[in-house]
Amino acid sequence: MPLIPSEALPHFENLIYLPMLLIILERDKKAFETGPFKLKRPYLAMVAEAEKLVQKDLKESRLYMRRRSMKLIKGDRDDLFTEYVFIHEGYEDRRRYLNVRLRNRSEELLGVYLTMGDRAICM
């Protein structure tokens, strides 16, 4: 039996990526507010909707983790890797993520959430 159940992995990864996305979306919102855009509202609405969706998914993952007594702890970080410790039922699973992979996956997810947010606005 694996230390970390496979159905829990997406929730652990949500706790890694989704907080990063919230930081990115907040910075983007500020850029749209202060930038030289003639029509700011559509951009701000799309970012705000994406933010809501990210927060919803993050809340669901946190609830899932809390109910199962699981924890994610950010470990050491260097120029190439960031370590995360997945904790479940007293077991620790240490995983190292390439920083480039973290950035690329965050960018992928940002595209997904902006698209979902855009669809929600258009409905």
Q: What pLDDT, on a 0 to 100 scale, did the predictor assign at position 123?
A: 60
Taking the chain (123 residues) in consecutive chunks of 10 residues, what is each chunk's mean pLDDT? 82 97 96 91 93 98 96 96 94 95 97 85 66
50 close to 116: Cβ distance less than 8 angstroms: yes
pTM for the whole structure = 0.90
pLDDT value of position 115:
92
Tell me the C-alpha distance between 59 and 114, whole Å. 18
The contacts of residue 46 (CB under 8 Å, 6+ apart) are 114, 117, 118, 121
Rg (CA), the chain: 17
In angstroms, the CA 55 to CA 60 distance is 9
User: What local confidence, expressed as pLDDT, does residue 83 receive?
Assistant: 98
